[in-house]
Amino acid sequence: MVFLAGCEKDLLPLRLPGAGAGTWQQEAEERRLLFVAMTRARARLFLTCASRRARHGTTRDTGPSPFLAAIGPGQLDRSRAAGRSRPAGPAERQLRLL
């Protein structure tokens, strides 16, 4: 199993505040690295993105990375993509480590 977290706009490809858009070479390299990571999955690949993210002191709405548009819809299972509609029950809560 391979988990790739943070597959969202402005994180993939990375956009730093005030830095402007990256060059096409930088974007191509980030795309290549994403797809290399995806090919490491033998059985399952989990791509995650947040609907809201706090970065650099502000919270913004986000969405999937534009890179994910290159993946055919028949290759994706979005059955668990929606946020929780109910609070987590005792069996679904994350366990405390300490």
What is the 3 state secondary structure string of the chain? CEEECCCECCECCECCCCCCCCCHHHHHHHHHHHHHHHHCCCCCEEECCCCEEEECCEEEECCECHHHHHCCHHHCCCCCCCCCCCCCCHHHCCCCCC
Tens-of-pLDDT digits for all 98 residues of the chain? 899 998 998 888 887 666 666 788 888 998 999 989 999 988 889 998 888 888 878 898 888 899 988 888 888 777 665 555 555 555 566 666 76
* CA gap 30, 20 in Å, rounded: 16
Q: Give residue limits of the domains in the chain.
A: 2-77
Architecture of domain 2-77: 2-Layer Sandwich (3.30)
